[in-house]
A and B are shown apart, each in its own frame.
Chain A
Amino acid sequence: MLNPLTMEDILNNNRLYGITALFDTPDEIIHAAKEVAKAGYKKFDVNTPYPVHGMDRSMGLRRSLVGYVTTFLGFSATAFILLFMFWTMSIDYPMVIGGKPYFALPAFIPITFETTVLLGGIATVVGLIALFSSLPYNNHPLHDTDYMRAVSSDKYGIVIESEDPLFDEEKVKELFAKLGSKKIHSVFYPEETQIPVFQPRYIVFLIVTAIAVSALTYVTLNKVLFIEPFSWMMEQDKVTPQEKSSFFSDSYGMRTPVEGTVARGFIPYPYKGMAAPTETLPNPLLPTKEVLELGKKKYLTYCSPCHGNFADGDSRLRGQFPNPPTLHSQRARDFSDGMIYHIIVNGQNIMPSYESQTTVEERWAIVHYIRALQRAKNAKLDDLQEVNKEIQLNVEE
């Protein structure tokens, strides 16, 4: 019968936890475990100073289920980490590392293995403690008993708990006596003792510790680490930007690239520095909507302050800088695309180069946009007819 544990029982210290028995040899304890299991007891345990081989079988224990926890969480980790690496390395932020494909399975295997083993191991320990040993258990009735002292040194003990359905104090003692144990004891639940946590000495200890830790941290971070040789690791042998170097004969710490070096993705402009090139480049871009929008954006940012929003040469700088001529003159309209591009890269007369502000693509887009402005300012009647045709088409649709 299960007796519900009441406060009264605990305070009166009379609730029986179980009956213990001590034996002298491992053979006796194995025999005892077999007999107790045969008698039909389920809630009993054996305590020995070292693992006695054959005990699991004698006690009739089933195989632990912790292996399933390990397997499940281990393989979950395998699946998770493979998906995680696939997502980070191949989808979310694809990176070429060592010329390998985005999904470089061989490189992922060690991490997969480690994660599987790690989570499998943690699952085993946590599963063993939390699921199968019912821990944390901070005050087991067997603690601080003579029984526990004996089985931690040279005796072999067995305990049948009072919660066992077959438990009967007299019968259990009889059984143990029959098995040859000379030391049979009843173990009771310990008396509950209340120790107040907020005692003055604890609070003083807490405050002193807090002050000491804070002071030590402050001194370390603000004083100690400024002392040589720590100095926050500011003194290092590496060359910092703009630093003088004693190693190179020209004393420059920062080295210039070898002559003729070309940056990745950079295409050098062949007519750079020429006032009027005899040949020019063709425009590689088509005047699509996206290109024209990019050209408009960049034109309004870089060109319009001097050339005006519609390329009329009406600067909005109010005389701070000389006004350029209009881009709708016959001369400007006769420029090839490449010539406008050349002027953007090289500058002309007082206009500086816009090479550093714009990319190759943006420059060609600006050229397209200027062409569009020129066409719009110099439209003919025929063009209007074209527009009307389109309007009509749209209406019909």
Chain B
Amino acid sequence: MSRNNTGYIRKELPGSVARIGYLLFAAGLILGIIGYLIEPVRASYSYLTAFMFLVSIGVGSLFLVALEYITGAEWSTPFRRLSEFVASSVPLFIIFAIPLLLSMHSLFHWTHTEVVKEDPVLTTKSPYLNTTFFIIRVVVIFGVWTLFYYLFTRNSLKQDDTGDQKLTKKNIVLSGIFIPVFAITVTLTSIDWLMSLEPHWYSTIFGVYYFSGATLGALAVLTLMVVLLKENGYLSSRLTNDHYYSLGTLLFAFICFWGYIAFSQYMLIWYANLPEENFWFLHRWENGWQYLSIILIFTHFIVPFGALLSYPAKTNPKRLKFMSIWIIIVHYIDIYWLSMPNLQANGHGFVISWVDFVFPVGIIGFLIVLFSLKAKKHNLVPVGDPKLQKGLNFTLH
């Protein structure tokens, strides 16, 4: 085994991957349009859920890339490129947001100016929550993310050819700027799109809650890709159990982090029991929503906690694959739980419609298409990265 051998041989993905992606995306698109024609308001909410899912995975992946640079992590370098591929959805957020911006009036209560005038709470919040400023924020935030995505991947891809170490240094500086920007922008995004669905509500930890879910979702997508691609020989053959273990540990850590943040938000509101805060949880504790709330606690925290606690579980590819799919699904349920009760707030209760399943299918298809397009053009492993050899040699003990 030579020290310069990365163990990576570039292979084309089979065409069936892209075909499945196109099929799912087209199905989601067509059925979504039909759903919108039948049930416009429900379809808007469902689409918002799917959109926030896409945003969380996309910008979460961008955050993982920045995290690797700023911490100088070596173990994750062999599969950083996969996160970059997923993050390539970031520039398209603005396109995905257009249908939502058009249906803002049926989504967001605070866009009704005549209601806001009568409501003292919404009047005080109106300097922030108004249509013009909302659109400005959306454009600026998605623009900033796109800029960072462009700079990160430009440097990273250039390094494949040149192997220039300065590019890594540039990206380290970039991630130093990106991470505080990310902290603010992801908070604003979660407040704008999800929290403002219930504009009377107050919660200072909501941004962190969305961030924890976003990072967990991005990590689960990364883990799933790593295991699937490694098993089929598309990644470096030198990835070991220690890489799996580290991915599993990080996944486990963010499961705990999500549980911690979710509980912090709940416990403070439960203890203070103030009417301007507790109604948000009360909506999720009546008309059938309480079952989803309990299911969320078990599926999003307790089950993955037990399933990923031990060392053998974190190094077992089958378990990792199963748990990453599980986490992607429960992350979707989590966002569903954040957004959909607001549609039901006027007493309809917990109802699932076929429309709710259409958009996530389309989003997953879109991510597969994006991945296969990127994989056709670029290496799946950052072959020019100076940290790659150390990352491949990574051992824990």
Q: Do A and B bind each other?
A: yes
Residues of A bordering B, CB below 8 Å: 51, 53-57, 63, 67, 71, 98-100, 106-107, 109-110
Q: Which residues of B contact A54 (CB under 8 A)?
A: 395, 397
**A99 close to B311 (CB less than 8 A):** no
Is the pair B397, A106 in contact by a Cβ cutoff of 8 Å? no
Shortest CB distance B162–A (Å): 29
Nearest CB on B from A63, distance (A)? 6
Known pairs A67-B310, A67-B311; A107 contacts B395 (CB<8 A): no
- Set of chain B residues within 8 Å of A99, measured between Cβ atoms: 273
- Residue in contact with B270 in the complex, picked from A51, A55, A106, CB distance below 8 Å: A106
Interface residue B396 (Cβ < 8 Å from any Cβ of A): yes
Task: Provide the residues of chain B in CB contact with A53, threshold 8 Å.
Answer: 395-397
Q: Roughly how many angstroms separate A153 CA and B160 CA in the complex, as a whole number?
A: 40
- Give the residue name and chain of the B residue nearest to A71 (CB): B309
Is B128 on the interface with A (CB-CB < 8 A)? no
Flag if A98 contacts B271 (CB, 8 Å): yes
Which residues 298-340 of B have a CB within 8 angstroms of A?
309-311
- Contact indicator A57/B271 (Cβ below 8 Å): no
B202 proximal to A (CB < 8 A): no
Residues from chain B with a CB closer than 8 A to the CB of A55 are 397
Is A106 a contact partner of B267 (Cβ separation < 8 A)? yes
Instruction: Say if the beta carbon of B133 comes within 8 Å of chain A.
Output: no
- A-B complex: 6 closest residue pairs judged by Cβ atoms: A56-B397, A53-B395, A54-B395, A106-B267, A106-B270, A109-B263
Rounded to whole Å, the gap between the CB of A153 and the closest CB of chain B is: 23
Seed contacts A67-B310, A109-B263; 8 additional CB < 8 Å A-B pairs: A53-B396, A53-B397, A54-B397, A56-B397, A67-B311, A71-B309, A106-B263, A106-B271
Q: B residues within 8 A CB of A67?
A: 310-311
CB distance from B265 to the nearest CB of A (A): 11
State in angstroms the CA–CA spacing of A56 and B241 once bound together: 14
Q: A106-B266, A106-B267, A107-B271 are in contact. Are A57 and B310 (CB under 8 A)?
A: no
Looking across the interface, which residue of chain B has its beta carbon closest to that of A110?
B267
User: How far does the Cβ of B129 sit from chain A's closest Cβ, in whole Å?
Assistant: 30
Counting chain A CB atoms within 10 Å of each CB, which of B311, B395, B397 scores highest? B397
A34 to B267, CA, bound (A): 53
Q: Give complex CA distance A67, B311 in Å.
A: 9
User: A90 to nearest B CB, angstroms?
Assistant: 17
Cβ A109 vs Cβ B311 within 8 A = no
Complex Cα distance A55/B266, Å? 45
- Closest Cβ neighbor of B273 among chain A residues: A99
- Which of the listed residues A98, A99, A106 has the most CB atoms from chain B within 10 Å of its own CB? A106
Assembly CA distance A387 to B397 (angstroms): 94
How many angstroms between the C-alpha atoms of A106 and B271 in the bound complex?
8
Given A99-B273, A107-B271, A109-B263, A57-B395 contact (CB < 8 Å): yes
Interface pairs (14), CB distance under 8 Å: A51-B397, A53-B396, A54-B395, A55-B397, A56-B397, A63-B311, A67-B311, A98-B271, A99-B273, A106-B263, A106-B266, A106-B267, A109-B263, A109-B267
Instruction: Considering the complex, give the chain A residue whose CB is closest to the CB of B394.
Output: A53
Task: Please indicate the chain A residues that have their CB under 8 angstroms from the CB of B311 in the complex.
Answer: 63, 67
Give the complex CA separation of A55 and B396 in angstroms: 9
> 8 Å CB contacts to A: which residues of B219-274?
263, 266-267, 270-271, 273
Contact (Cβ within 8 A) B263 A57: no
Asked whether, in the complex, the Cβ of B397 is within 8 Å of the Cβ of A107, the reply is no
Residues 348-397 of B at the A interface (beta carbon under 8 Å)? 395-397
Most chain-A CB neighbours within 10 Å: which of B267, B309, B395? B395
Nearest CB in chain B: distance from A159 CB, A? 19
The CA-CA distance from A79 to B266 in the complex, in Å, is 22
| Cα distance A55–B263 in the bound complex, in angstroms | 40
